[in-house]
């Protein structure tokens, strides 16, 4: 079930935002300048309007996706950061003490609710165009994609995205221990997506085996993004190869 608007919070702690989220904060500026009601209008048919349990407002779910894109975070990490980053909670129209969603709910929304890539592309386009017009975002390289495949604001192929994210993981690891260079598998020499997925899995296994290194915040965040993208691409590849899917 979906509410037609997000409920107004009567929390006594709302004044905290005026202290910890300055007026020049990018997320505060986006909230003040962008009307997200178009998200609700476009997603009406994706939700049950008159029965079932209350769903998290789709505008809030879409904002989670924007946060993922702007800050390059996995589902797990964007939800985790929303627990303590007050600028995130302010952007999500939540009271400081409100509990966040379970990351699995965001994954389900991303994969099931937004399967229509053209719809998702349109939502991205509207949001990014407004943000660019207001000079809140300087680049069109935002990616908000249910399967991390090519969209209007993502001009890279699936293989290129995987290569980029695995490189970020390796770079984060090298900043801690350059000796790790000898432990990573050799890079792929083909243009096959399956080979790149396999390579990324080996990178993940290599880092996961290093208990100390994998817990560094920067490594952990980059690793979680890579894990999510690998899983998404594997799932997409499986569906594309299954005629009955």
Q: Residue 190 belongs to a domain with what CATH number? A: 1.20.58
This model's pTM is above 0.95: no
Q: Quick check: 87 and 25 in contact, CB under 8 A?
A: yes
Q: What is the pLDDT of residue 56?
A: 81
What percentage of the chain carries pLDDT values higher than 70?
74
Is 10 among the domain residues? no
Is 9 among the domain residues? no
Domain boundary among 133, 167, 198: 133
**Domain co-membership, 127 together with 223:** no
Is 163 among the domain residues? yes
Question: Comparing 24-33, 99-108, 137-146, which segment has the lowest mean pLDDT?
Answer: 137-146
**Domain co-membership, 162 together with 129:** no
**Domain co-membership, 163 together with 199:** yes
Is 6 among the domain residues? no
Q: What is the pLDDT of residue 242?
A: 57
Domain count for the chain, please give it: 2
Q: What is the pLDDT of residue 5?
A: 45
**Domain co-membership, 23 together with 126:** yes
**Domain co-membership, 112 together with 177:** no
Q: What is the pLDDT of residue 52?
A: 47
Is 147 among the domain residues? no
**Domain co-membership, 200 together with 164:** yes
**Domain co-membership, 38 together with 119:** yes
**Domain co-membership, 186 together with 234:** yes
- What is the average pLDDT across 116-124? 61
- What is the average pLDDT across 127-144? 62
Mean pLDDT rounded to a whole number for the chain: 80
**Domain co-membership, 41 together with 78:** yes
Is 1 among the domain residues? no
Residue 154 in this model has a pLDDT that exceeds 70? no
What residues make up the domain containing 36? Answer: 16-133
Residue 151 in this model has a pLDDT that exceeds 60? no
Is 149 among the domain residues? no
Query: Which one has a higher pLDDT value, 238 or 87?
Result: 87
For the chain, the 3-state helix, strand and coil shares in percent, each to the nearest 5, are 60, 0, 40
Dump pLDDT digits (tens) for 172-215.
999 999 999 999 999 999 999 999 999 999 999 999 999 999 99
Domain boundary among 133, 167, 195: 133
**Domain co-membership, 43 together with 108:** yes
Give CA torsion, residues 189, 140, 60, 97, to 10 deg: 90
Residue 145 in this model has a pLDDT that exceeds 50? no
Q: What is the pLDDT of residue 241?
A: 62
Is 177 among the domain residues? yes
Residue 137 in this model has a pLDDT that exceeds 90? no
Residue 105 in this model has a pLDDT that exceeds 50? yes
Buried residues in 6-37 as b, exposed as e (16+ CB within 10 A): beeeeeeeeebbeeebeeebebbebbeebebe
Query: Which one has a higher pLDDT value, 35 or 216?
Result: 216
**Domain co-membership, 126 together with 188:** no
3-state secondary structure of 11: coil
Q: What is the pLDDT of residue 173?
A: 97
State how far the Cα of 59 lies from the Cα of 126, in Å rounded to an integer: 14
**Domain co-membership, 169 together with 115:** no
Q: Report the residue count for the chain.
A: 245
Dump pLDDT digits (tens) for 11-62.
788 888 999 999 988 889 888 888 888 777 777 766 554 444 556 888 898 8
């Amino acid at each position: 079930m979906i509410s037609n608007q997000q409920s107004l919070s009567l929390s006594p702690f709302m004044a905290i935002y005026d202290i910890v989220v300055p007026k020049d904060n990018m997320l505060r500026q986006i909230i003040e300048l962008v009307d997200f009601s178009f998200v609700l209008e476009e997603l009406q048919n994706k939700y049950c309007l008159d029965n079932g349990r209350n769903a998290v407002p789709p505008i809030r779910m879409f904002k989670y996706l924007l946060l993922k894109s702007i800050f390059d975070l996995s589902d797990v990490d964007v939800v985790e950061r929303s627990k303590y980053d007050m600028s995130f909670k302010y952007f999500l129209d939540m009271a400081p003490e409100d509990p966040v969603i379970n990351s699995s709910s965001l994954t389900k929304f991303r994969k099931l609710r937004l399967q229509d890539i053209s719809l998702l592309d349109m939502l991205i386009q509207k949001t990014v165009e407004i943000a660019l017009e207001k000079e809140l975002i300087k680049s069109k390289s935002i990616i908000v994609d249910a399967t991390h495949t090519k969209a209007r604001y993502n001009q890279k192929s699936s293989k290129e995205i995987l290569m980029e994210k695995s490189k970020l993981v390796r770079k984060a690891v090298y900043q801690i221990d350059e000796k790790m260079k000898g432990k990573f598998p050799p890079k792929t020499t083909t243009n096959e997506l399956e080979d790149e997925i396999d390579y990324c899995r080996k990178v993940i296994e290599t880092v996961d085996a290093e208990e100390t290194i994998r817990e560094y915040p920067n490594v952990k965040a980059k690793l979680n993004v890579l894990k999510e993208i690998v899983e998404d691409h594997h799932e997409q590849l499986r569906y594309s190869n299954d005629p009955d899917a």
